[in-house]
Amino acid sequence: MLKETRPPELVVSQWLNTSKPLSLSGLAGRPVLIHAFQMLCPGCVAHAIPQTQKAHRAFGGTDLQVIGLHTVFEHHDAMTPVALKAFVLEYGLTFPIGIDEAGVNTPLPVTMQLHGMRGTPTTILIGRDGNLIAHQFGQIDDMALGAMIATALAADGDAVGIRKTAGDNKSCAGDRCKSP
Amino acid sequence: MLKETRPPELVVSQWLNTSKPLSLSGLAGRPVLIHAFQMLCPGCVAHAIPQTQKAHRAFGGTDLQVIGLHTVFEHHDAMTPVALKAFVLEYGLTFPIGIDEAGVNTPLPVTMQLHGMRGTPTTILIGRDGNLIAHQFGQIDDMALGAMIATALAADGDAVGIRKTAGDNKSCAGDRCKSP
Amino acid sequence: MLKETRPPELVVSQWLNTSKPLSLSGLAGRPVLIHAFQMLCPGCVAHAIPQTQKAHRAFGGTDLQVIGLHTVFEHHDAMTPVALKAFVLEYGLTFPIGIDEAGVNTPLPVTMQLHGMRGTPTTILIGRDGNLIAHQFGQIDDMALGAMIATALAADGDAVGIRKTAGDNKSCAGDRCKSP
Amino acid sequence: MLKETRPPELVVSQWLNTSKPLSLSGLAGRPVLIHAFQMLCPGCVAHAIPQTQKAHRAFGGTDLQVIGLHTVFEHHDAMTPVALKAFVLEYGLTFPIGIDEAGVNTPLPVTMQLHGMRGTPTTILIGRDGNLIAHQFGQIDDMALGAMIATALAADGDAVGIRKTAGDNKSCAGDRCKSP
């Protein structure tokens, strides 16, 4: 189910919450959790962004790198860098957040296109070997995400037998996810 | 913080949801998640029991063994085996549940005493090597529990750096946990 | 939609949380909120019972009478008076609760039959004139219930234009209600 | 606690979700619920805005007028009219929303100052007689709000004995409210 591929590099126009830019190549050997969101995506605000903040805190003692990616594909004049900075401050987000590079002749930003993301929220987990472990559009249950991250931390390896969705995962029910 | 000890055996008077009795010795080599609860413990009903059911489902494809333990230390005439069976049916619990053996000259049941449990809910995680990984009274966050279980599944080993409590863990706030 | 009828009297075998038995006739002139529940009904425990406790508190300065009614129609040997007392203690319920009189040759208790209740939770609101204002099986939204009670308090009258269910009312979704 | 006063008029630079401007004077004889919010106020987004939408729906059959008021007192370059429009669309808000007129030589907008609002969310309920019924900074419980509105609908009068906060009202706990 998970493509045994090396995900493309992040293309970011501006970084928040970090003094120096991050790159997947620069993080080689460490598991990376990327959470793509939009600040005006209700499902992101209610579930996925707090979940990412929680993961950043819960795994703060490990070498997991949590990265937020602001993949604006609609309402570009509302979700500006200035607005994002206010949002990050108000919601108390402390993990590094990259602003996905605006697309040319398309509302879709560059990294979103390169990674084939379907919308927001999208969660991407990359292993120590640089290969993709998970790429999921919609909500992931906290327990399942915790398990996937821990498996990535523990091994070079594969998360055999851990289901991505548990009991209360409503995925994209109620139109809370956003897709272009 | 975690005692590098081999936890004592379960002493159970009756099993539900399993055709044959379970024992820690019989589960050697497999990680075991024990959730001790009382059916009239509000914190168990609201959080810990659904969490255990979720773990049972989420890790159903692994060799983790989830065990519920009904450790009645109060209201013994209310939380009878007949009442527990109705509760298990109504709440749709499908994991094996043992009824902790009643204590002699004490309201505390036997396994609860042997394991030094402080009350309900208590979550115990045992590794493949039979040693204790975690023993926690009160709520554990879903993400942290998922991570601990996955680490136990992945290794012989230790869950270095994963915090037991994440952002929304309120532990025993609001008197929702029960202790004797 | 609401039957302009005078609901039948309560038939109760035992009262909790009150020094003297309550009756609808004895409460003439006051609005009465009756919440019929079973202590092992998941939808009651998660939503309707806390809601009733909240109404008891929120309207404590008015002449509204809140009454719980334990209408056991299944698992009779589990939901005994002894078990109910433990439940009431553990969940911190302070409003008067009557145990519905057991039925003869039927699992349905007497008041439940007389009032034509379909299951638990059922919420019944009676006006100052003794007539039925609402009789609802399943969840009612807090805002709608607050509005119905306030209307009953304010008038002899009818709750014109207030909807019984608002945005997040999931009614009986997910099999959380119980019916015989 | 409630000032027996006639609240000042709304001063609004732009209206959303209504074809013609609203004014308190134009609504004389009808109860009015004003919810002052900021689109980047976490407590507003999580609780007060959905509550206002719910009230708009639940009382849609009555002559209650629900009004949102975007009282931007910080991050002015983030919470622009363009951004608010995207927010209103994404969150599916259908009640009329006025943008509070920007202040002169102060970050506080005009209506916010005139009404003496302490921050967001603030809920204001005005009776049929044009007098103030409630003015509350922070969260209000759904049940209490429903009761206050219904009382305002039912009478010229006062909501005697209904408490503004019920069991689960956390008011401004956790810094989710915003004040200048």
Give the per-residue pLDDT at D161.
52
Cβ(C63)–Cβ(B111) below 8 Å? no
Q: Which of D16, D37, D38, D40 to mutate to test the interface with A (most CBs of A within 10 A)?
A: D40
Cβ(B7)–Cβ(B124) below 8 Å? yes
- Residues of chain C in contact with residue B86, where contact means CB-CB under 8 angstroms, are 40, 74-75, 78-79
Distance CA A38, CA A92 (A): 16
Catalogue all structural domains in chain B, each as residue range(s) with its CATH number.
12-16+30-156 (3.40.30.10)
- Residues of chain D in contact with residue C123, where contact means CB-CB under 8 angstroms, are none
Q: Is C38 helix (H, G, I), strand (E, B) or coil?
A: coil
Compute CA distances C96 → C61, C66, D40, D41, whole Å. 16, 7, 44, 41
Q: Which tokens sit at A122? A: 């999208």
Give the per-residue pLDDT at A178.
78
For residue B69, which of B14, B106, B132 has the smallest C-alpha distance? B14
Distance CA B6, CA C136 (A): 54
For residue D71, which of D123, D26, D21 has the smallest C-alpha distance? D123
Q: Which one-letter amino acid corresponds to residue A9?
A: E
Give the per-residue pLDDT at A129.
93
- Please tell me which residue of chain D has the smallest CA distance to C162: D59
Nearest-Å Rg of the Cα atoms of chain D is: 15
Per-residue pLDDT at A166 exceeds 50: no
For the ranges A74-78, B166-170, D173-177, which has the lowest average pLDDT? Answer: B166-170
Q: Which tokens sit at D43? A: 């407590």
Per-residue pLDDT at A180 exceeds 90: no
| Interacting residues of D124 by C-beta distance below 8 A, sequence separation 6+ | D7, D32, D33, D34, D35, D36, D115, D132, D134, D135, D136
Please answer yes or no on whether C45 and B45 come within 8 Å at the CB atom.
yes
Give the per-residue pLDDT at B145.
97
Please answer yes or no on whether D141 and C58 come within 8 Å at the CB atom.
yes
Helices (H), A10-158: 42-43, 49-58, 81-90, 110-114, 142-154
For residue B147, which of A152, A29, A125, A130 has the smallest C-alpha distance? A152
Per-residue pLDDT at B154 exceeds 70: yes
Q: Are chains D and B in touch, 3+ Cβ pairs below 8 Å?
A: no
Give the per-residue pLDDT at D164.
54
Predicted TM-score (pTM) of this structure = 0.89
pLDDT band for position D157 (50/70/90)? very low
Please answer yes or no on whether C41 and B90 come within 8 Å at the CB atom.
yes
Per-residue pLDDT at B64 exceeds 90: yes
ipTM associated with this complex = 0.88
Determine the average pLDDT of the residues in B142-158. Answer: 85
What's phi and psi for A84, nearest 5 deg? -60, -40
**Is any Cβ of chain B less than 8 angstroms from the Cβ of A49?**
no
Determine the average pLDDT of the residues in B162-173. Answer: 50
B neighbours by CB contacts (3+ pairs under 8 Å): A, C
Model confidence over A152-162: pLDDT tens digits? 998 654 444 55
Give the per-residue pLDDT at A168.
40
Number of H helices, E strands in chain D: 5, 6
Q: Is C13 helix (H, G, I), strand (E, B) or coil?
A: strand
Distance CA D60, CA D54 (A): 10
D neighbours by CB contacts (3+ pairs under 8 Å): A, C
Please answer yes or no on whether A46 and D41 come within 8 Å at the CB atom.
no
pLDDT band for position A17 (50/70/90)? very high
Cβ(D123)–Cβ(D106) below 8 Å? no
Cβ(D53)–Cβ(D159) below 8 Å? no
Give the per-residue pLDDT at B179.
75
Give the per-residue pLDDT at C157.
45
Give the per-residue pLDDT at B178.
77
For residue B53, which of D61, A167, A14, A12 has the smallest C-alpha distance? A167
Across the beta sheet with B32-37, what order do the strands follow?
B12-16, B97-100, B65-70, B32-37, B122-126, B132-137
- Which one of D58, D61, D154 has the shortest CB-CB distance to C143? D58
For the ranges A97-101, B59-63, C173-177, D46-50, which has the lowest average pLDDT? Answer: C173-177
Beta bridge partners of B132: B126
Q: Which of B16, B37, B38, B40 to mutate to test the interface with C (most CBs of C within 10 A)?
A: B40
> Quick one: DSSP state of residue D45?
I
Model confidence over B95-118: pLDDT tens digits? 999 999 999 999 999 999 999 999
| Interacting residues of B65 by C-beta distance below 8 A, sequence separation 6+ | B22, B27, B30, B31, B32, B33, B96
Distance CA D78, CA D83 (A): 7
If you write DSSP's letter for every residue of D88-154 in order, what string do you get? HHHTT--S-EEEEPPPSSSSS-HHHHHTT--SBSEEEEE-TTS-EEEEEES---HHHHHHHHHHHHH
Q: Which of C35, C64, C125, C162 to mutate to test the interface with D (most CBs of D within 10 A)?
A: C162
Give the per-residue pLDDT at D177.
72
> Parallel, antiparallel, or unpaired for β C65-70 and C97-100?
parallel
B23, B25, B31, B34 alpha-carbon torsion, rounded to 10°: 30
Model confidence over A99-154: pLDDT tens digits? 999 999 999 999 999 999 999 999 999 999 999 999 999 999 999 999 999 999 98
Cβ(C56)–Cβ(C154) below 8 Å? no
Per-residue pLDDT at A167 exceeds 80: no
Burial tier of D172 (Cβ tally within 10 Å: 0-12, 13-18, 19+): middle
| Interacting residues of B41 by C-beta distance below 8 A, sequence separation 6+ | B120, B121, B176, B177, B178, C90
Give the per-residue pLDDT at A177.
72
Determine the average pLDDT of the residues in D10-23. Answer: 98
Give the per-residue pLDDT at A157.
44
Q: Is C161 helix (H, G, I), strand (E, B) or coil?
A: coil
For the ranges A152-161, B166-175, D65-74, which has the lowest average pLDDT? Answer: B166-175
Mean pLDDT by 10 residues, chain C (180 residues): 76 98 97 98 97 97 97 98 98 98 97 97 96 95 96 67 48 65
Please answer yes or no on whether C57 and D142 come within 8 Å at the CB atom.
no
If you write DSSP's letter for every residue of D50-63 in order, what string do you get? HHHHHHHHHTTTSS
- Residues, chain B, total? 180
Please answer yes or no on whether D145 and C149 come within 8 Å at the CB atom.
no
> Quick one: DSSP state of residue C40?
T
Burial tier of A91 (Cβ tally within 10 Å: 0-12, 13-18, 19+): middle
Distance CA A43, CA A121 (A): 7
For residue D30, which of D123, D141, D129 has the smallest C-alpha distance? D129
- Residues, chain D, total? 180
Across the beta sheet with A12-16, what order do the strands follow?
A12-16, A97-100, A65-70, A32-37, A122-126, A132-137
